[in-house]
Structure 1
Amino acid sequence: MDAIEKELDRLTNGANLSKSVKEIDKCLELLLAARTTIENDPSATISTLQTLEPGLKAGFQAANESLKGLHGGIGKYGKALDKKFKTTNTKEYPFGALGNSQPLINRAIMMHLLREGNFEIAEMFSQEADLAGSVPSVLELEFRELFSIQESLRRKELQPAIEWAEKRRDSLESRASNLEFELHRLQFLVFLFEGGAGGQRLALEYSKSRFLPFQKKYLPEITRLAGCLVYREILSTSPYATLVQDDSSWQSIIDAFTTEFCAMLRLSAESPLYVAATAGTIALPTFNKMSTIMKAKKTEWTSQNEIPFEVPLPDKFKYHSIFVCPVSKDQTTDSNPPMMIPCGHVLAKDTVQKLARGTGSRYKCPYCPADSFPKEAREIYL
């Protein structure tokens, strides 16, 4: 990796297009001047063009010369990447799970563009991919509001986010979310440290007017905030030093707000397209290895709706627990989900049907003396 970083640093430091841009600007000035001369005196066309030609050639030559270093840097960086990471023949795999799902892929792309705040591009993509109506217009309005509030938070303006949270206090409390309190907490600290000479007074007045609804649940945190008022000038060396805010505090509140906003829309905090692309990138080396083994052994991938090997994904990409039926030893799927029977034990749906012999008759639990009917089993969601 050292060689890659070295070439990347060289490329970054040497990737300067200013010389080329200046030369092109000079050529444009020559062209504009020549056009003006010809418009004023058409009889001077030939002489003007003859005078113009050497200047243009010199300008283009100088622009190309200044690009040689950039092209060389890109070439060396590419060679360093190829040397470090072995490339394989990336032909299309015959097991594309989304081969017939182009509309879903297009919708995921559009949703990603909306999440990123690229609304004009999303509109253009919707027209070109014929996605009219696939994404409700109200959802686009919601994402516009999300992006607007995110931008406010990046400017360290908390009021729009606070107003949004206050309007949805009941919904946030039902999710056991602490977003509203964290917003007020951060605003208190902003007043305290950025409020100038009257910062302590502003922070104290704000705490009196806003923290009352949170006393029951967040009294220790509120008490700690009140205590830091007297240490404002020496907070970094006080018992309240951890309250000093930095850029990570703002990024954390932006992430928390985004999570809660998307949860209100019944959407994941991260773009599904980003998650799928990242997880797929992580899995590619394993897929390549499996493909090599399959070719060597002349075997085929026969399993459906699942891959025949484990992909080591980060914990943040593991959204569901895996349940294996203790009787059949099969991993549950959407068509064969885990079912909890009245005695509390959990079996796969197919196992329940087999125990009841497919007739809906009473059957005995394999792990306790309890009897039950298949219709009494309840699907559980992991």
Structure 2
Amino acid sequence: MSKTGVAIPQLQKDLEGMEDKPRLSLAVDNIDRLIAKLTEAREAVATASDPHTASLTLTRLQNPVKEVIDRANDDLKKVYQVQKDLGKSLDKSFPVVKIATDHDALDGKSDLMNKAIAMHLMREGQFSVASTFIGESQRDLHVASSTPQAFHGKTRDVQDSNTMAVDSDGDTDQQSQSSSKVPSQPNASSEVIGSSRLQQQFEVMYRILQELKQHNVEPAIEWALENSSELEARGSNLEFELCRLQYVHLFETPGRGPPAAFEYARTQMWRFRERHLAEITRLAGALIYAPNLADSPYATLFDSPTAFLDAASSFTREFCSLLGLSAESPLYVAATAGAIALPRLVKWQSIAQGAEWTTTNELAFETPLPRSFMYHSIFVCPVSKEQTTAANPPVILPCGHVLARDSLTNIAKGHGNNMFWIPSFHGADWAAVELNRATKYLAPIFLTLEL
């Protein structure tokens, strides 16, 4: 068993032993009682007609206030001791492992990190926290810009409108009216973080998600209908999926049942008949078996305990896509992928004994990640046997072959505008080439496509 496997049960045992230890709530309760006492004293002084009431009240408060403060300090000392013991348990269970790196990937990119954090907070619905963070980050940026840089001999310029900006009231533009219509901007990630327009869109999203949690599909359907042209252009089925969920919900709701579901389908689902006629037919066929739906061929249409969760996930994905954003927070994905890779990095460092890898943007080993973290395919050039990158992307030729751009450049040297031969491939490489040749009708479009 690994050291971590042994440490976790011991840490859990230590945590269970701390359940009966003093908590911060004791000090908070004492301070709350003190505030209540001071409030009563202030009201008594304010309403008293005797000018000596203030001095008498303060005299009476001296001992009680001192006792409460002493008690709160004692409580805090006990809490700090518990925190200290917990820190020792954590250090013992998970010793700090220093990973030597030759470069800091985030050096000089604090503005991008702040932007990622602010966007993550907004995507999570923490709008007040995001506003506070943006304000403080912008304030720190102004302070840094007003301080001469001793190592560079000059003051760094700060562009107030390029990264993150927020007014004192949290508003940055003239748009004050909230709308569920997603503006036709190509990419919201390039927008000023903290702008009221972007925050309003996320507020709309979370308001609809809250309704979905309450099994109310109508706000989501209204949003999908309002943005139907954009969703249709993406080939999205979200609007139909929401309407189908509403049909099933009406079908199963006591007091409404099949008649309400039939009326809803008659008035609302006709517009999906061209793309989803087969599914609509199945939904209509379930009406015949309404008295004994569980034993009917249509039972699977209604037996989906995660239907509303799936609808919420699909809605979030489509909503973010129309804003030009990914469904998952980039900060969450990066942090999770890093946490998955960290144990392998520690192990590699212990085995390599100080050896260094030569590529700064790549790890020296493969890190298996969940399929949900795979956003693009990996292509290895059959000529150079190197993995393509953004600087050396794959290109498809009119004949259907796919090579790395650097390999194509090297092969074409000395040929000018004349034709040149592509090196022959064997085995799996040849199978890949034949597959690419099957798509040669796309060559005029994707001649210089960077995948």
Aligned with 1:344 (options 400, 403, 406): 400
Q: 1:67–1:245: structure 2 CA closer, same or farther, 3 Å change rule? A: farther
Root-mean-square deviation (Å): 3.6
**Correspondence 1:164 to 2:164:** no
Greater Cα offset, 237-246 or 157-166: 237-246
Greater Cα offset, 346-355 or 16-25: 16-25
Whole-Å Cα distance in 1 between the matches of residues 295 and 27 of structure 2? 52
Residue aligning to 2:333: 275
Contact 2:22-2:75 within 8 A present in 1 as well: no
- TM value normalised by structure 1: 0.81
Whole-Å Cα distance in 2 between the matches of residues 96 and 76 of structure 1? 33
Greater Cα offset, 300-309 or 322-331: 300-309
Aligned with 1:52 (options 46, 53, 61): 61
Contact 1:11-1:74 within 8 A present in 2 as well: no
For 1:168-218, what per-residue CA distance to the aligned partner results, in whole angstroms no more than 9, with x for missing partners? Answer: 334434433221111001111221222x32332211100111222323433
- Counterparts in 2 of 1:54-203, with a 5 A limit? 54-60=63-69, 62-63=71-72, 74=83, 78-89=87-98, 93-130=101-138, 132-134=161-163, 135-136=191-192, 137=195, 138-194=197-253, 196-203=254-261
Residue aligning to 1:317: 373
Contact 2:250-2:261 within 8 A present in 1 as well: yes
Greater Cα offset, 144-153 or 328-337: 144-153
Contact 2:395-2:450 within 8 A present in 1 as well: no
Contact 2:27-2:72 within 8 A present in 1 as well: yes
Residue aligning to 1:26: 33
Contact 1:337-1:379 within 8 A present in 2 as well: no
Q: 1:86–1:235: structure 2 CA closer, same or farther, 3 Å change rule? A: farther
Aligned with 1:261 (options 311, 319, 332): 319
Whole-Å Cα distance in 2 between the matches of residues 133 and 249 of structure 1? 42
Contact 1:353-1:360 within 8 A present in 2 as well: no
Task: Identify unmatched segments of 5+ residues in structure 2.
Answer: 1-7, 139-159, 164-190, 426-442
Q: CA deviation at 1:351?
A: 0.7
Q: CA deviation at 1:363?
A: 1.7
Q: 1:266–1:46: structure 2 CA closer, same or farther, 3 Å change rule? A: closer
Q: 1:304–1:22: structure 2 CA closer, same or farther, 3 Å change rule? A: closer
- Counterparts in 2 of 1:289-308, with a 5 A limit? 289-293=347-351, 296-297=353-354, 299-308=355-364
Whole-Å Cα distance in 1 between the matches of residues 389 and 346 of structure 2? 25
- The letter for the 2-side match of 1:354 is N
Greater Cα offset, 41-50 or 165-174: 41-50
Residue aligning to 2:281: 223
- The letter for the 2-side match of 1:353 is T
SS for the counterpart of 1:363 is: coil
**Correspondence 1:378 to 2:437:** no
Whole-Å Cα distance in 1 between the matches of residues 207 and 394 of structure 2? 42
- The letter for the 2-side match of 1:210 is Q
- TM value normalised by structure 2: 0.70
Q: 1:19–1:200: structure 2 CA closer, same or farther, 3 Å change rule? A: farther
Whole-Å Cα distance in 2 between the matches of residues 158 and 30 of structure 1? 49
Q: 1:360–1:103: structure 2 CA closer, same or farther, 3 Å change rule? A: farther
- Counterparts in 2 of 1:12-23, with a 5 A limit? 19-23=26-30
Greater Cα offset, 127-136 or 311-320: 127-136
Whole-Å Cα distance in 2 between the matches of residues 155 and 335 of structure 1? 48
Residue aligning to 2:308: 250
Q: CA deviation at 1:2?
A: 4.1
Residue aligning to 2:169: none
For 1:65-114, what per-residue CA distance to the aligned partner results, in whole angstroms no more than 9, with x for missing partners? Answer: 666886666556555544443421367x3322232323322222232233
Tell me the number of residue pairs that the alignment of Structure 1 and Structure 2 aligns.
372
- The letter for the 2-side match of 1:144 is E
Whole-Å Cα distance in 2 between the matches of residues 225 and 367 of structure 1? 55
SS for the counterpart of 2:255 is: helix
**Correspondence 1:335 to 2:391:** yes
SS for the counterpart of 1:339 is: strand
Contact 2:224-2:238 within 8 A present in 1 as well: yes
Aligned with 2:424 (options 359, 367, 376): 367
Q: CA deviation at 1:228?
A: 3.7
Q: CA deviation at 1:64?
A: 5.7
Residue aligning to 1:372: none
Whole-Å Cα distance in 2 between the matches of residues 242 and 79 of structure 1? 54
**% identical aligned pairs:** 41
Q: 1:128–1:38: structure 2 CA closer, same or farther, 3 Å change rule? A: closer
Q: 1:45–1:263: structure 2 CA closer, same or farther, 3 Å change rule? A: closer
Whole-Å Cα distance in 1 between the matches of residues 93 and 111 of structure 2? 37
Greater Cα offset, 313-322 or 220-229: 220-229
Q: 1:70–1:11: structure 2 CA closer, same or farther, 3 Å change rule? A: farther
